[in-house]
Structure 1
Amino acid sequence: MPTFEKTREAPAAGRRTAPPAWGGTAAGVGTATIFLSAVVLIPLGTVLWQGTAQGPAAFWDAITAPDAWAALRLTVAASVVVALVNLVMGTLIAWVLVRDPFPGRGLIDLLIDLPFALPTIVAGLVLLALYGTDSPVGITLAYTRAGVVVALLFVTLPFVVRTVQPVLLELDGEMEQAAASLGAGSWTIFRRIILPNLLPAMLAGTALAFTRSMAEFGSTVLISGNVPFKTQVAAVHVFGQIESDNTAAAAAVSTTLLMVSLLVLVTIDLVHRWGARRG
């Protein structure tokens, strides 16, 4: 009995002597907070302040001006289209890269990240050379809304692919084999086993593609032609307002883009939390 008591108390004593890591945690949190404040929070707060400094009426007038409202409508509509296309095609590309071996797969996988490495203005120049008025492929998309969508698709391609691909790689194949052995078809396996695991990554990548499209400038400024009321996106409109020394209006439109992007990100996060609770 005494031996048992001694053995039982030893681990407890050992646990009591383990030093907590509060010092390191506090330093890490402090460093991260300072960095995020300097790089993200303070600049965003400045934009919000400039956009709303003249009051709600001036803010509303700035974003509902005919040219600003047209640019915002085009940007939101094009971003929704791009996000939905990326949701489907990005998932399909990730599936092919993970599940379907084929010659040249490594090269394709490498090219997926090219939009991250390529300056967006160069991407716009390439697209203009390919789909401009002298298109070598016979397709003219320059100065059209379709050209804006293609440019946004180019720069947002990696987001869904790179968020879905790791989940596919880590997905337990034994569950699919077990379902198949019990008579489940391919569609049932995908719908009941694979899709629930992929959905959070798919939604996260789609949200990133949407928010990137909302703020894109370089790839659209050339192929869109910057035609007000037709092909001018919001980022290009903001640039034009700054050139015209209308900083308040530029900040107001920028604030609207920020609010829409934050709304989408918060909505996706709430969907994730709801799905986690139901799971």
Structure 2
Amino acid sequence: MSQRSFSLACLTPLVVLTAAFFVLPMARLVVVGAGGPQGVAGYLAILLEPRYRATLINTVLLASATTLATLVIAAIAAIFLQRHRFPGRAVLVAMLTFPLAFPGVVIGFLIILLAGRQGLIGDVTRLLGGGKVVFAYSIWGLFLGYLYFSIPRVILTIMAAVQKLDPGLEEAARSLGASPWAVQRDVVLPALGPAFVASGAIAFATAMGAFGTAFTLATNIDVLPMLIYTEFTLAANFATAASLSVGLGLISWAMLALARSLSGGTVAATG
């Protein structure tokens, strides 16, 4: 078999899979989105329709807050875990990354057990005399759920980046009299910038499109995945659901593309 024939044999399954599972469904989604009464202008509904616009803002703000909180928590944990060896470290890392095995519905159920009407937090606050605190079904419950499944992804990425840092740079900074905090601020954190951008983009895109957790918890708030679901199933508004889906996909794709350009093409490795 010639080199050309071998390359063609390897490329054919990739082309078929890409067309069947990515190109054709996306093309169909775009066509359906433009097939409503408003035509192509239906794609502007996500910005012009007050309800859709408010839902978009809620989703973007929630995803942004989740991303920022995740980066702060995961960065501190990842740097500490990668730089220190202690008994039980492997178990701790396994526990921190265990949520990767959970689907969104399970994570939502865990948040309900923690902060729902029969949750642990409510029982504790009631016993302390402060009344039962319930926030599982609010924006804070959804934020906690998104945070729960975002942290493991970011921790693994940053731990891998910390492992690749040149220790000589930190030693040089310390030899010049830099304090431990100055070393972290001026040497370690800037060096981890591409990892922060890459993992932050993944966390943002994941929070934007997360459905299982939102389906379980978002009873008092609107986020785009739930809005798409209700338009598709309850209102049978296929065109609007498709246009909202395209809009959601474009926002997530734009964030990933921006992060890829800023991080030097490392975003794909974080998945």
**Distance (whole Å) between structure 2 residues aligned to residue 64 and residue 186 of structure 1:** 51
2:268 paired residue number: none
Gaps of at least 5 residues in structure 1 are 1-19, 275-279
Distance 1:97 1:21, change over 3 A: farther
* TM-score, structure 1 as length reference: 0.81
**Distance (whole Å) between structure 1 residues aligned to residue 70 and residue 200 of structure 2:** 7
1:147 paired residue number: 141
Q: Is the contact between residue 43 and residue 247 of structure 2 (CA under 8 Å) also seen in structure 1?
A: no
**Distance (whole Å) between structure 1 residues aligned to residue 5 and residue 193 of structure 2:** 38
Task: For residues 193-234 of structure 1, give each alpha carbon's deviation from its aligned partner in whole angstroms, at most 9, with x where no partner exists.
Answer: 322331111111000000000101111222221x3xxx1211
Q: Is the contact between residue 159 and residue 206 of structure 1 (CA under 8 Å) also seen in structure 2?
A: no
Distance 1:47 1:108, change over 3 A: farther
Distance 1:178 1:58, change over 3 A: closer
Q: Superposition pairs for residues 76-95 of structure 1, below 5 Å?
A: 76-95=60-79
2:197 paired residue number: 203
Distance 1:42 1:197, change over 3 A: farther
Mean Cα displacement is larger for which, 140-149 or 21-30?
Answer: 21-30
Matched, 1:263 2:261: no
Q: Superposition pairs for residues 20-31 of structure 1, below 5 Å?
A: 24-31=6-13
Q: How many residues align?
A: 253
Root-mean-square deviation (CA, aligned residues, Å) is: 2.5
1:45 paired residue number: 27
**Distance (whole Å) between structure 2 residues aligned to residue 88 and residue 42 of structure 1:** 39
Aligned residue identity for 1:43: P
Matched, 1:178 2:168: no
Distance 1:23 1:88, change over 3 A: farther
User: 1:24 deviation in Å?
Assistant: 4.7
User: 1:95 deviation in Å?
Assistant: 1.0
Q: Superposition pairs for residues 1-279 of structure 1, below 5 Å?
A: 24-54=6-36, 55-61=39-45, 64-138=48-122, 139-225=133-219, 227=220, 231-243=221-233, 244-273=235-264
SS in 2 for 1:137: helix
**Distance (whole Å) between structure 1 residues aligned to residue 224 and residue 145 of structure 2:** 14
Q: Is the contact between residue 29 and residue 246 of structure 2 (CA under 8 Å) also seen in structure 1?
A: yes
**Distance (whole Å) between structure 1 residues aligned to residue 231 and residue 57 of structure 2:** 17
Gaps of at least 5 residues in structure 2 are 123-132, 266-271
* TM-score, structure 2 as length reference: 0.83
SS in 1 for 2:119: coil
**Distance (whole Å) between structure 2 residues aligned to residue 50 and residue 99 of structure 1:** 52
Structure 1 runs of 4+ aligned residues shifted over 4 Å read 20-27
- Identity, in percent, stands at 27
**Distance (whole Å) between structure 1 residues aligned to residue 208 and residue 61 of structure 2:** 10
Aligned residue identity for 2:198: A
**Distance (whole Å) between structure 1 residues aligned to residue 95 and residue 27 of structure 2:** 36
Q: Is the contact between residue 195 and residue 263 of structure 2 (CA under 8 Å) also seen in structure 1?
A: no
User: 1:137 deviation in Å?
Assistant: 1.7
